[in-house]
Structure 1
Amino acid sequence: MQNSQDHLKEIESLLEFYRSAGVDCFLGDEPVDWAAASVRQAAHRHQAVSHARPSHKAGGSAQSQASEDVAAASTPRQQPAAPSQQPAQSHQPASAQAAVVPDREMIASARDLAASAASLADLKACLETFEGCNLKLTAKTLVFGDGNPEARLMLVGEAPGREEDLQGKPFVGRSGQLLDRMLTAIGLDREAAYIANVVPWRPPGNRTPTPQETEICKPFIKRQIELVNPDVLVFLGAASAKNLLGVQDGIRKMRGRWMNYTLADREIAAVATYHPAYLLRSPLEKRLSWRDFLSIRSRLAGQ
């Protein structure tokens, strides 16, 4: 009896460890041996960096070689499987084998890859082939952008949700329907705006993207803004504003205050407002968002 109670306490402790680590759902029907999968991370990282930064690898500098040696040394070595057992990877989904650990080198490769895109079509193609963000492994589709890329108004959210993941377009669920009504209220629609997200893949369970996931995707949304080159930039929610403007204020203090988003050759008028999903939960705040959208209309009319 005592052994049974001790066993239950061990299980409870393990579950509490997983919960505190942020594990709140199962993503597959079969267990995944991430330790075995990690031996392939260095190869995937090296391949992605080589593809995105070919000029940096020319000549094989001692510094680059040293970085690769350190990465290889820090990667666990794969133990040979026993003769009577099947290799671990035969029971793993393909997504586990492609998982990578985003590091500074991978972020630099994302920056170079995004900068190489000469058009929105090029940028979308870059994201479709980019293997540096693990959210791509669990998302169904790439949610790139929607609306008119020639529009003077661009709206940026944080990350797509379930409906967006299914349709491959940003803001098409309940929050998107509310956003459409808000645009209509100031005489605009989706053809008069361009809409995107900082992170173009849905996080599992609609969780908040991790700082690493946001950082690896940031070069792409920054390039997307450069290519659209709007006159007015609207951040839907605090997360997108904080990531792209570098401000630390909460949305209550930040919203409605005009700021500048700096490009290489110009500055774009930028403002943050409540995310439509928040307004669905807190409808009394719609009056403040209405003020923000009136201010957006005035700013567009005055430019």
Structure 2
Amino acid sequence: MQNTERAQRELESLLDFFVASGLDCFLEEEAVDSFALSEAAPARFAASPPVSTAPASPTNNSPSTARAPTVLQRPHDGPLKDFSKPLQAPAETAAPSAMSDAVVPDRAAIDMAREAARTAGSLDDLKACLEAFSGCNLKLTAKSLVFADGRPGSRVMLIGEAPGRDEDASGVPFIGRSGQLLNKMLAAIGLERGDVYIANVVPWRPPGDRTPTPQETEICKPFIARQIELVAPDFLVFLGAASAKSLLGVQDGIRRMRGRWMTYEAGGRQIPCLATYHPAYLLRSPLEKRLSWRDFLSLKTKLGE
């Protein structure tokens, strides 16, 4: 009797252990592959015969009032659907997408951009070419073309990477917080915004202010290159590493590039150029403003020579 009670207590303890461990149901002796069962379920469902909801006709062996079992279904539910097939929206109700005009950013798009930029004889022509250009998908998501700001023919041309939200809304580059800081940096060396010419390598805002892809940059590069030729500045200032890398073809980071003068060839001219920190970066890292101050002092020296 004692052995029986002991065995019962041990069994109860074992069951309590299983419940505490999360095992609250009987298990098979062999492991069940639930993933394989899930994959095979649609095929089994499709192969099963359809369930008829019509009442069975009476037979001689059954009373006339007997009816076949039916599937309970509300009248407005409509016919049974085959859920083994993926749901698809009706073609006639599909709304047209704005991305239906998207193009593949390949070599053909780059060649098209080069040809369009080459035919521009003035800045107004170049702006019109960009407005009519359909080879860059960023145009489909941007609100406006951010072409340039400032005075054409200025001695100094500043180039950033791409416009942001404020610039996209206004159509003017460097108009937000980073633009306000840039205005103060120019004023510190005796320049006003109207004394310089400001543009971006990419004239359309990327969605969510993400970094432009290399393909997007390559497509837009012929336009900024032609823009530099038409403005014909005495000095170029690259705001951030992205614009300097795109136009100079270098791979150095901004810490290695900034502070030293380089050259950019445009229209047979060797234009002195300088790379410095982007104003948006200076807003996040204010301690680096001292280095940008040195760069702008170097620009002021060049302008006075």
Question: Counterpart in 2 of 1:133?
Answer: 136
Match of 1:146 among 143, 146, 149: 149
Distance 2:184 2:140 in 1: 33
Question: Counterpart in 2 of 1:261?
Answer: 264
Q: Which amino acid aligns with 2:297?
A: L
| 2:96 paired with 1:92 | yes
Distance 1:277 1:198 in 2: 16
Highest CA radius of gyration, 1 or 2? 2
Q: Which amino acid aligns with 1:296?
A: L
Q: CA deviation at 1:266?
A: 1.1
Question: Counterpart in 2 of 1:165?
Answer: 168
Distance 1:109 1:138 in 2: 20
SS at match of 1:233: strand
Distance 1:297 1:85 in 2: 65
Q: Which amino acid aligns with 1:254?
A: M
Question: Counterpart in 2 of 1:72?
Answer: none
Match of 1:123 among 126, 129, 132: 126
| 2:95 paired with 1:109 | no
Contact 2:113 2:222 survives alignment (8 Å): yes
Distance 1:236 1:266 in 2: 21
Unaligned runs of 5+ in 2: 1-33, 36-88
Q: Which amino acid aligns with 1:86?
A: A
SS at match of 1:165: helix
Distance 1:225 1:264 in 2: 9
RMSD (Å) for aligned C-alpha atoms = 1.4
Q: CA deviation at 1:247?
A: 1.1
Question: Counterpart in 1 of 2:158?
Answer: 155
Q: Which amino acid aligns with 1:92?
A: P
| 2:209 paired with 1:206 | yes
Question: Counterpart in 1 of 2:278?
Answer: 275
Q: Which amino acid aligns with 2:95?
A: H
Q: Which amino acid aligns with 1:118?
A: G
Question: Counterpart in 2 of 1:243?
Answer: 246
Q: CA deviation at 1:87?
A: 4.5
- Counting helix residues as a fraction of each chain, which structure ranks higher? 1
Question: Counterpart in 1 of 2:228?
Answer: 225
Matches within 5 A, 1:177-216: 177-216=180-219
Distance 1:244 1:265 in 2: 15
Distance 1:131 1:271 in 2: 32
Q: Which amino acid aligns with 2:168?
A: D
Q: Deviations over 1:259-300 (max 9, x none)?
A: 000123210000100000000000000000000000001111
Q: CA deviation at 1:255?
A: 0.2
Aligned residues: 219
Q: CA deviation at 1:138?
A: 0.5
SS at match of 2:223: helix
Q: Deviations over 1:164-218 (max 9, x none)?
A: 0000000000000000000000000111100000000000110000001101000
Contact 2:225 2:266 survives alignment (8 Å): no
Question: Counterpart in 2 of 1:297?
Answer: 300
Quote the sequence identity (%): 69
Distance 2:133 2:145 in 1: 11
Question: Counterpart in 2 of 1:61?
Answer: none
SS at match of 1:91: coil
Distance 2:236 2:212 in 1: 22
Unaligned runs of 5+ in 1: 7-83
Q: Deviations over 1:83-119 (max 9, x none)?
A: x93248x4232x2110100111111111010010000
Match of 2:179 among 173, 176, 190: 176
Distance 1:289 1:120 in 2: 30
Task: Report the TM-score, using the length of structure 1 for normalisation.
Answer: 0.70
Q: Deviations over 1:118-161 (max 9, x none)?
A: 00000000000000000001100000000001210000000000
